[in-house]
């Protein structure tokens, strides 16, 4: 099989590269490296089955040879990154998604869109199911990501309805693991990097907001299963175990171990107060549910951060 992964030098994308190369597939990575890092796929530099194209997917309209599967994962993923690159975020979810859908149509390839739990916004329904339309403030700074992903879902479904293109849409909830940027603003790498230095852990609001955290190996397992089935509607992927941000901070401090104190900061505009996926659909259609608990996964990531120091 020949697999094209946009954003393949990013956090989740690079782990997908590992998976498909391990299977013996040919992999094409397209990444302009504004948030990805070439070192994330550096271990495969001598693998002749990997082809790396350093280019903005918004400018890609042709790829030589056959393509069987396109995984569209190109997009800044953390609030810090997509607010730093707002236009780029909107472009990659519009022009970039269009280009890859057109390529999938021409190549007769399966297309899988990496969407996000952010399509639910600050949800008024808990836990979040796929049939919930969301509560998104389209004027907030976060909207470049939220609305960009919502548009990409609509465009992807339009290709299915008009061209009968084989598609999948996965709504990815908070995922963590090795290769995350220590300074990308997401809560787990932020907490770990500061805790290892005994510096204050930044907590927005009072820390009562909740999140669910899925370890990267579980997420890759789910994504690759989703790419194999014929199901065109959105599907939640994540770990339904729910933690407050303060609970997460306590766990990170204990596992490091750390003498860090907490620094409470103003809650960002439209920051979701609760976040928990209903994964009934993934359980039924994929036979999947996460296996790695939060503490087990955090121990792996903390060790990786220690080695990176």
Instruction: State if pTM tops 0.85.
Output: yes
Task: Judge whether 98 lies within some domain.
Answer: yes
* CATH code: domain of residue 27: 3.40.50.720
Segment 6-26 shows an average pLDDT of 98
Burial 99-132 (b: 16+ CB within 10 A, else e): bbbbbbbebebbbbbbbbbbbbbbbeeebbebeb
Contact (Cβ atoms closer than 8 angstroms) between residue 144 and residue 82: yes
Containing structural domain, residue 46: 2-176+214-240+276-290
Burial 30-42 (b: 16+ CB within 10 A, else e): bbbeebbeeebbe
Burial 181-218 (b: 16+ CB within 10 A, else e): beebbbbbbbbbbbbbeeeebbbeeebebbbbbbbbbb
How many DSSP H helices and E strands does the chain contain?
10, 13
Task: Judge whether 157 lies within some domain.
Answer: yes
Task: Judge whether 266 lies within some domain.
Answer: no
Which residues are identified as catalytic? Answer: 145
Task: Judge whether 301 lies within some domain.
Answer: no
Task: Judge whether 75 lies within some domain.
Answer: yes
More confident position, 182 or 163: 163
Q: Which residue in this structure is represented by tokens 């465009």?
A: 155
Task: Judge whether 121 lies within some domain.
Answer: yes
Segment 274-295 shows an average pLDDT of 98
Task: Judge whether 50 lies within some domain.
Answer: yes
pLDDT tens digits for range 187-203:
999 999 999 999 999 99
Q: What is the DSSP letter of 93?
A: I
Is residue 271's pLDDT more than 90? Answer: no
Give the total number of structural domains in the chain. 1
pLDDT of residue 96: 98
Segment 61-84 shows an average pLDDT of 96
Between the CA of residue 160 and those of 99, 102, 171, 206, 283, what are the distances in Å? Answer: 15, 12, 17, 43, 24
Segment 105-131 shows an average pLDDT of 97
Task: Judge whether 260 lies within some domain.
Answer: no
Contact (Cβ atoms closer than 8 angstroms) between residue 85 and residue 76: yes
Is residue 266's pLDDT more than 90? Answer: yes
pLDDT of residue 248: 98
């Amino acid at each position: 099989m020949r697999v094209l992964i946009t954003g393949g030098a990013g956090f989740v994308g690079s782990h997908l590269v590992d998976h498909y190369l391990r299977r013996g597939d040919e992999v094409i990575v397209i990444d302009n490296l504004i948030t990805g890092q070439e070192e994330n796929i550096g271990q495969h530099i001598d693998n002749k089955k990997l082809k790396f194209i350093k280019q903005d997917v918004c400018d890609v309209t042709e790829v030589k040879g056959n393509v069987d599967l396109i995984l569209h994962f190109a997009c800044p993923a953390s609030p810090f990154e997509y607010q730093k690159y707002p236009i780029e975020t909107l472009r990659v979810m519009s022009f970039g998604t269009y280009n890859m859908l057109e390529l999938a149509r021409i190549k007769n390839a399966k297309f899988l869109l990496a969407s996000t739990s952010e399509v639910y916004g600050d949800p008024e329904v808990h836990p979040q199911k796929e049939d919930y339309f969301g509560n998104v403030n389209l004027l907030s700074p976060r909207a470049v990501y939220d609305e960009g992903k919502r548009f990409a879902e609509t465009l992807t479904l339009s290709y299915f309805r008009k061209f009968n293109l084989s598609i999948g849409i996965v709504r990815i909830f908070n995922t963590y693991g090795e290769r995350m940027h220590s300074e990308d603003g997401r809560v787990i790498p932020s907490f770990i990097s500061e805790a290892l230095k005994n510096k204050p852990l930044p907590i927005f609001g009072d820390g009562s907001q909740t999140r669910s955290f899925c370890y990267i190996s579980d997420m890759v397992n789910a994504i690759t299963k989703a790419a194999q089935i014929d199901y065109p509607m959105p599907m939640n992927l994540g770990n339904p175990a729910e933690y407050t941000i303060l609970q997460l901070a306590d766990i990170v401090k204990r596992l490091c171990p750390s003498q860090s104190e907490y620094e409470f900061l103003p809650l960002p505009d439209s920051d979701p107060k609760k976040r928990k996926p209903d994964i009934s659909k993934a359980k039924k259609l994929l036979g999947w549910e996460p296996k790695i608990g939060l503490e087990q996964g955090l121990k792996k990531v903390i060790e990786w951060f220690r080695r990176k120091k």
